[in-house]
């Protein structure tokens, strides 16, 4: 497979993940208590178990730091001095998808790499992030 074909396939997959994943949730999480985080669904909690955490090296000598959040299933993602609270979302592809819907930040984790995206701007913030367990 040449580079252009691989890039086109990746873009198509990412577009599908960004456009369909929010609609896949079978059950809605409970609304948050005033000032608190809502409880996550069983599916979200199961997906959270697959999230790779720690400082993850990315392209251009950048890194993303992912840590457990204040509540089970929530994650804090730090990049370029900003922190986001992300929750797992369902996907049809088996990829791990974390999202902060308000900020429009999406973390996509596939078998061999991960990336941080800004869904509002429709662009990648950083790509080729590889956790030690993703190295082949």
- Residues 22-69 have pLDDT tens digits of 444 444 555 555 558 899 999 999 999 999 999 999 999 999 999 999
Q: Do residues 93 and 107 lie in contact, with contact meaning Cβ atoms separated by under 8 Å?
A: no
Query: Mean pLDDT for the chain?
Result: 83
CATH 2.40.128.50 fits domain 3-23+42-134: yes
Strand partners, 124: 117
* CA dihedral over 103, 71, 27, 46, signed as positive or negative: positive
* CA dihedral over 33, 39, 25, 75, signed as positive or negative: positive
């Amino acid at each position: 497979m040449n580079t252009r074909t691989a890039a086109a396939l990746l873009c198509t997959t990412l577009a599908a993940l960004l456009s369909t994943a929010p609609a896949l949730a079978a059950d809605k999480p409970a609304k948050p208590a005033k000032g608190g985080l809502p409880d996550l669904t069983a599916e979200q909690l199961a997906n959270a178990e697959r999230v790779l955490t720690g400082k993850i090296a990315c392209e251009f000598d950048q890194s993303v730091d992912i840590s457990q959040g204040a509540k089970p299933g929530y994650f804090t993602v730090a990049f370029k001095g900003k922190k986001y609270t992300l929750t797992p979302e369902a996907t049809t592809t088996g990829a791990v998808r974390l999202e902060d819907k308000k900020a429009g930040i999406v973390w996509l984790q596939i078998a061999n790499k991960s990336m941080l995206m800004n869904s509002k701007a429709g662009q990648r913030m950083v790509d080729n992030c590889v956790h030690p367990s993703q190295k082949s």
